[in-house]
Amino acid sequence: MPHSDNKSTALAIRFEVLYLLNLLLLPGIAFLILAWFYRQHKAHPSTLVRSHLQQTFFTSLIGGALIVLVIALLLVFGGFSSSYIWMWIILYFTLAHSTLVVFGALGLAKAMSSQSWRYPIIGLPLPKDN
Protein backbone atom coordinates (compact mmCIF):
# COMPACT_ATOMS: atom_id res chain seq x y z
CA MET A 1 0.00 0.00 0.00
CA PRO A 2 1.55 3.31 -1.05
CA HIS A 3 2.06 5.97 1.58
CA SER A 4 -0.65 8.62 1.63
CA ASP A 5 -0.68 11.93 3.44
CA ASN A 6 -3.59 13.25 5.48
CA LYS A 7 -4.62 15.81 2.83
CA SER A 8 -4.93 13.11 0.17
CA THR A 9 -6.97 10.94 2.52
CA ALA A 10 -9.23 13.89 3.38
CA LEU A 11 -9.83 14.61 -0.31
CA ALA A 12 -10.61 10.96 -1.04
CA ILE A 13 -13.09 10.92 1.85
CA ARG A 14 -14.67 14.14 0.60
CA PHE A 15 -15.21 12.65 -2.88
CA GLU A 16 -16.86 9.52 -1.47
CA VAL A 17 -19.10 11.59 0.81
CA LEU A 18 -20.17 13.75 -2.14
CA TYR A 19 -20.94 10.60 -4.13
CA LEU A 20 -23.18 9.32 -1.32
CA LEU A 21 -24.80 12.74 -0.88
CA ASN A 22 -25.57 12.75 -4.60
CA LEU A 23 -27.31 9.39 -4.30
CA LEU A 24 -29.10 9.92 -1.00
CA LEU A 25 -29.63 13.52 0.03
CA LEU A 26 -28.62 16.22 -2.46
CA PRO A 27 -28.90 14.78 -5.98
CA GLY A 28 -27.58 17.14 -8.60
CA ILE A 29 -26.10 19.65 -6.16
CA ALA A 30 -23.58 17.17 -4.76
CA PHE A 31 -22.82 16.00 -8.32
CA LEU A 32 -22.06 19.57 -9.45
CA ILE A 33 -19.67 19.98 -6.52
CA LEU A 34 -18.06 16.62 -7.38
CA ALA A 35 -17.74 17.73 -11.03
CA TRP A 36 -16.04 20.93 -9.87
CA PHE A 37 -13.59 18.86 -7.79
CA TYR A 38 -13.00 16.65 -10.83
CA ARG A 39 -11.96 19.68 -12.88
CA GLN A 40 -9.69 20.90 -10.10
CA HIS A 41 -8.03 17.62 -9.08
CA LYS A 42 -8.14 15.21 -12.04
CA ALA A 43 -4.35 15.49 -12.43
CA HIS A 44 -3.60 15.40 -8.69
CA PRO A 45 -0.21 13.82 -7.92
CA SER A 46 -1.72 11.38 -5.40
CA THR A 47 -2.95 8.08 -6.82
CA LEU A 48 -5.33 7.84 -3.86
CA VAL A 49 -6.98 11.15 -4.74
CA ARG A 50 -7.18 10.38 -8.45
CA SER A 51 -8.62 6.90 -7.90
CA HIS A 52 -11.42 8.02 -5.59
CA LEU A 53 -12.17 11.08 -7.72
CA GLN A 54 -12.39 9.08 -10.96
CA GLN A 55 -14.45 6.30 -9.43
CA THR A 56 -16.98 8.61 -7.77
CA PHE A 57 -17.32 11.01 -10.71
CA PHE A 58 -17.75 8.39 -13.42
CA THR A 59 -19.95 6.13 -11.30
CA SER A 60 -22.16 9.17 -10.62
CA LEU A 61 -22.43 9.66 -14.38
CA ILE A 62 -23.42 6.01 -14.77
CA GLY A 63 -25.98 6.34 -11.97
CA GLY A 64 -27.47 9.39 -13.66
CA ALA A 65 -27.59 7.56 -16.97
CA LEU A 66 -29.35 4.63 -15.27
CA ILE A 67 -32.05 6.93 -13.92
CA VAL A 68 -32.60 8.48 -17.36
CA LEU A 69 -32.69 5.02 -18.94
CA VAL A 70 -35.18 3.69 -16.40
CA ILE A 71 -37.48 6.69 -16.86
CA ALA A 72 -37.24 6.40 -20.66
CA LEU A 73 -38.03 2.68 -20.53
CA LEU A 74 -40.97 3.29 -18.21
CA LEU A 75 -42.37 5.86 -20.64
CA VAL A 76 -41.86 3.59 -23.65
CA PHE A 77 -43.33 0.49 -22.03
CA GLY A 78 -46.50 1.85 -20.51
CA GLY A 79 -45.95 5.37 -19.27
CA PHE A 80 -46.52 6.59 -15.77
CA SER A 81 -50.19 5.61 -15.82
CA SER A 82 -49.33 1.91 -15.99
CA SER A 83 -50.40 -0.16 -13.01
CA TYR A 84 -46.91 -1.68 -12.87
CA ILE A 85 -45.03 1.59 -12.57
CA TRP A 86 -44.43 1.35 -8.82
CA MET A 87 -43.21 -2.21 -9.13
CA TRP A 88 -40.53 -1.12 -11.60
CA ILE A 89 -39.55 1.92 -9.54
CA ILE A 90 -39.21 -0.21 -6.40
CA LEU A 91 -37.20 -2.82 -8.32
CA TYR A 92 -34.86 -0.13 -9.64
CA PHE A 93 -34.26 1.37 -6.20
CA THR A 94 -33.94 -2.04 -4.57
CA LEU A 95 -31.44 -3.37 -7.09
CA ALA A 96 -29.54 -0.64 -8.92
CA HIS A 97 -29.70 2.35 -6.60
CA SER A 98 -29.04 0.33 -3.44
CA THR A 99 -26.07 -1.34 -5.11
CA LEU A 100 -24.59 2.05 -5.98
CA VAL A 101 -25.06 3.16 -2.36
CA VAL A 102 -23.28 0.03 -1.07
CA PHE A 103 -20.41 0.69 -3.50
CA GLY A 104 -20.19 4.23 -2.10
CA ALA A 105 -20.12 2.97 1.49
CA LEU A 106 -17.32 0.56 0.61
CA GLY A 107 -15.50 3.35 -1.20
CA LEU A 108 -15.82 5.60 1.85
CA ALA A 109 -14.39 2.86 4.07
CA LYS A 110 -11.45 2.43 1.67
CA ALA A 111 -10.88 6.20 1.56
CA MET A 112 -10.89 6.37 5.36
CA SER A 113 -8.24 3.62 5.31
CA SER A 114 -6.15 5.53 2.73
CA GLN A 115 -6.65 2.75 0.18
CA SER A 116 -7.50 3.09 -3.48
CA TRP A 117 -10.81 1.60 -4.57
CA ARG A 118 -12.29 0.43 -7.84
CA TYR A 119 -16.06 0.15 -8.03
CA PRO A 120 -16.97 -3.42 -9.03
CA ILE A 121 -18.24 -3.99 -12.58
CA ILE A 122 -18.78 -0.33 -13.51
CA GLY A 123 -15.57 1.20 -12.12
CA LEU A 124 -12.75 2.55 -14.22
CA PRO A 125 -9.29 0.99 -14.05
CA LEU A 126 -7.27 2.46 -11.20
CA PRO A 127 -4.84 5.23 -12.20
CA LYS A 128 -1.16 4.43 -12.40
CA ASP A 129 1.38 5.95 -10.02
CA ASN A 130 3.10 9.04 -11.39
Stated pTM of the model: 0.87
Query: What pLDDT, on the 0 to 100 scale, is given for residue 60?
Result: 95
Cβ atoms of residues 100 and 63 within 8 Å: yes
Q: What percent of the chain has pLDDT above 70?
A: 95
Q: Rounded to an integer, what distance in angstroms lies between the CA atom of residue 55 and that of residue 59?
A: 6
pLDDT at 2 over 60: no
State pLDDT tens for residues 19-67: 999 999 999 999 999 999 999 999 999 999 999 999 999 999 998 898 8
Backbone angles phi, psi at 116, to 5 degrees: -70, 160
Looking at the chain, how many residues does it have? 130
pLDDT band at 130 (very low <50, low <70, confident <90, very high): low
